[in-house]
């Protein structure tokens, strides 16, 4: 039998050649390949847009290479989609609810534990329609992320691989909130994920109880509230301040509006659609019933703490 040798660089007709850029310079091509290898070594995983951006940066200054990268876009899309599906398939078929086991402190299989990243960002998400947003959040969290549902909200474990990737992913997740939900975070080594989840879940409770605007929060944003709610007797004492006010729905609504407006009375009056004098009269009544004057610094902050304690304990 005669063996046919194929010259890949010049074979005509139906024999496919290795992709080659027209008029390429061998030195430039070698440099481009070196940049691609370096990018691959440093790439920590992420979305297709992130990978394409890395490759386009490597091709910067070389129009032919840049066009080659753009033309390869559909191939990259299919590749990353297959990679994602494979990881999700392994997670569902072999690993079960890894995130649920980790945040609950349950043991997991040694081979699964060893394959985890060294550190994770524990993210708790509270949205009005988290089910619809869940696939988008999963994609934004990037490869290697795990998700589970808990009473505190949707929990995402994001590999904390480097100081640039993790904040970038946090920003992507926050953008999907669209100002209509909360995202709380805590970072921990993989051995302490359960502790990190408790912290992030506590921050979520305090943010919701404090009626904070939608956004991303961590423990440093709620230090005072966190300290107050660590002591049960202090929490009970604060809640008891509000107990007499529960029999007065209009005054309760007024205090809630005042807290929402960060104790700004003019804004509170506008939000309630009442005259400023009407608001002042209501605030005087609140002071008489609770013993705390909402128009003073100390009294106002005490009532805010009481509202947070009430929401946290409820």
DSSP 8-state secondary structure symbol assigned to residue 182:
E
For residues 189-204, average pLDDT: 96
Among 206, 248, 201, residue whose Cα is nearest residue 227:
206
pLDDT-based confidence at residue 66 (cuts at 50, 70, 90): confident
Higher pLDDT, 187 or 112: 187
For residues 142-154, average pLDDT: 90
* Structural domains of the chain ordered from first start: 26-81 (no CATH), 98-218 (3.30.70.270), 231-313 (1.10.10.2840)
For the entire predicted model, the pTM comes to: 0.66
- CA dist 30 and 38 (Å) reads 12
pLDDT-based confidence at residue 193 (cuts at 50, 70, 90): very high
Q: What is the pLDDT of residue 227?
A: 86
Phi, psi for residue 25 in degrees, rounded to 5: -95, 130
pLDDT-based confidence at residue 25 (cuts at 50, 70, 90): low
What single string gives the DSSP state of each residue in 113-181? Answer: HHHS-SEEEEEEEE-TTHHHHHHHHHHHH-TT-EEEEETTEEEEEEE---TTHHHHHHHHHHHTTTTSS
Q: What is the pLDDT of residue 26?
A: 64
**Secondary structure class of 79 (helix, strand, coil):** helix
Q: What is the pLDDT of residue 237?
A: 94
Give per-residue pLDDT as tens, 299-311: 999 999 999 999 8
Q: What is the pLDDT of residue 8?
A: 40
215-217/182-189 β-pairing: parallel
For the chain, how are helix, strand and coil distributed in percent, rounded to 5? 60, 10, 30
| In the block, residue with structure tokens 């709610």 | 229
**Secondary structure class of 189 (helix, strand, coil):** strand
**183 DSSP β-pair partners:** 125, 216
Cβ atoms < 10 Å from Cβ of 299: 18
For residues 47-67, average pLDDT: 69
Q: Which of 9-13, 17-21, 41-45, 236-240 has the lowest mean pLDDT?
A: 9-13
- CA dist 91 and 147 (Å) reads 10
Element (H, E) at 93: none
Q: What is the pLDDT of residue 269?
A: 96
pLDDT at residue 117 is higher than 80: yes
- CA dist 254 and 260 (Å) reads 10
Q: What is the pLDDT of residue 104?
A: 94
| In the block, residue with structure tokens 């994602």 | 84
Mean pLDDT (the chain, rounded): 82
Query: Cα angle vertex 298, ends 296, 302, to 5°?
Result: 115
Query: What percent of the chain stands above pLDDT 90?
Result: 46
Q: What is the pLDDT of residue 231?
A: 86
Give per-residue pLDDT as tens, 77-92: 666 666 555 555 444 4
Give per-residue pLDDT as tens, 226-238: 888 888 898 999 9
pLDDT at residue 220 is higher than 70: yes
Q: What is the pLDDT of residue 38?
A: 67
Give per-residue pLDDT as tens, 251-265: 999 999 999 999 999
């Amino acid at each position: 039998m005669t063996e046919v040798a194929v010259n890949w660089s010049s074979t005509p007709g139906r024999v496919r050649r290795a992709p080659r850029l027209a008029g390429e310079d061998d030195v430039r091509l070698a440099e481009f390949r070196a940049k691609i290898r370096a990018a691959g070594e440093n790439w920590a995983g992420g979305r297709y847009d992130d990978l394409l951006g890395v490759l386009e940066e490597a091709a910067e200054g070389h129009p032919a290479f840049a066009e080659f990268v753009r033309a390869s876009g559909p191939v990259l899309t299919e590749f990353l989609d297959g990679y994602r599906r494979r990881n999700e398939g392994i997670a569902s078929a072999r690993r079960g609810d890894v995130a649920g086991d980790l945040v609950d402190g349950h043991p997991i299989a040694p081979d699964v534990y060893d394959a985890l990243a060294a550190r994770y960002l524990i993210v708790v998400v509270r949205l009005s329609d988290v089910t619809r947003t869940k696939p988008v959040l999963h994609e934004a969290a990037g490869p290697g992320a795990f998700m589970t549902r808990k009473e505190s909200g949707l929990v995402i474990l994001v590999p904390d691989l480097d100081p640039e990737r993790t904040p970038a992913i946090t920003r992507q997740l926050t953008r999907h909130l669209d100002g209509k939900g909360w995202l709380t975070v805590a970072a921990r080594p993989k051995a302490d994920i359960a502790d990190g989840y408790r912290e992030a879940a506590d921050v979520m409770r305090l943010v919701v109880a404090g009626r904070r605007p939608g956004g991303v929060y961590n423990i440093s944003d709620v230090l005072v509230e966190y300290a107050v709610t660590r002591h049960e007797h202090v929490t009970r004492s604060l809640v008891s301040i509000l107990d007499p006010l529960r029999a007065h729905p209009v005054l309760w609504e007024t205090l809630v509006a005042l807290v929402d407006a960060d104790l700004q009375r003019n804004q509170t009056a506008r939000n309630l659609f009442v005259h400023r004098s009407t608001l002042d009269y209501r605030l005087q009544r609140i002071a008489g019933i609770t013993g705390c004057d909402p128009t003073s610094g100390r009294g106002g902050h005490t009532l805010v703490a009481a509202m947070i304690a009430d929401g946290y304990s409820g």
